Amino acid sequence: MAKERSRKALAELLQRPGNAACADCAAPDPDWASHSLGIFICLNCSGIHRNIPQVSKVKSVRLDDWDDAQVEFMASNGNNVAKAKYESKMPPFYYKPTFLDCQLLREQWIRAKYERKEFIHSEKQEPYSAGYREGFLWKRGRDNGQFLSRKFVLSEREGALKYFNRNDAKEPKAIMKIEHLNATFQPAKIGNPHGLQITYLKDNSTRNIFVYHEDGKEIVDWFNAIRAARFHYLQVAFPGASDADLVPKLSRNYLKEGYMEKTGPKQTEGFKKRWFTMDDRRLMYFKDPLDAFARGEVFIGSKENSYKVLEGLPPSTQGNHWQHGITIVTPDRKFLFACETEDDQLEWITTFQKVISRPMLPQEYAVEAHFKHKP
Following DSSP, what letter does each residue of 315-365 receive, concatenated?
TT----SS-EEEEEE-SS-EEEEEESSHHHHHHHHHHHHHHHTSPPPHHHH
Query: In this structure, are residues 137 and 221 in contact, taking their beta carbons and an 8 Å threshold?
Result: no
Q: What pLDDT, in 10s, does the model give residues 132-148?
A: 999 999 999 988 889 99
Half-sphere exposure of 190 (CA within 13 A, CB side): 25
Amino acid at 316: S
Q: Can you tell me the distance from the alpha carbon of 312 to that of 327, in angstroms, rounded to the nearest whole number?
A: 6
Q: Which of 49, 38, 110, 32 is nearest to 78 (CA)?
A: 38
pLDDT of residue 374: 43
pTM: 0.91
Q: What pLDDT, in 10s, does the model give residues 252-262?
A: 999 999 999 99
Q: What pLDDT, in 10s, does the model give residues 274-328?
A: 999 999 999 999 999 999 999 999 999 999 999 999 999 999 888 899 999 999 9
Q: At what angle do helices 2-13 and 68-76 cross, to 10 degrees?
A: 10
Q: What pLDDT, in 10s, does the model give residues 216-263?
A: 999 999 999 999 999 999 999 999 999 999 999 999 999 999 999 999
pLDDT of residue 168: 85
CB within 8 A of 35, min separation 6: which ones? 57, 58, 59, 66, 70, 73, 74
* SS3 call for 29: coil
Domains of the chain: 1-122 (1.10.220.150), 129-248 (2.30.29.30), 256-373 (2.30.29.30)
Q: Which of 353, 330, 327 is nearest to 338 (CA)?
A: 327
When pLDDT is averaged across residues 78-98 and rounded to a whole number, the result is: 97
CA dihedral 50, 52, 55, 57 (to 10 degrees): 10
Q: Can you tell me the distance from the alpha carbon of 46 to that of 33, in angstroms, rounded to the nearest whole number?
A: 7
Specify the DSSP element, H or E, that contains 74.
Answer: helix 68-76
18: left (phi over 0), alpha (psi -120 to 50) or beta: left
pLDDT of residue 144: 87
pLDDT of residue 1: 67
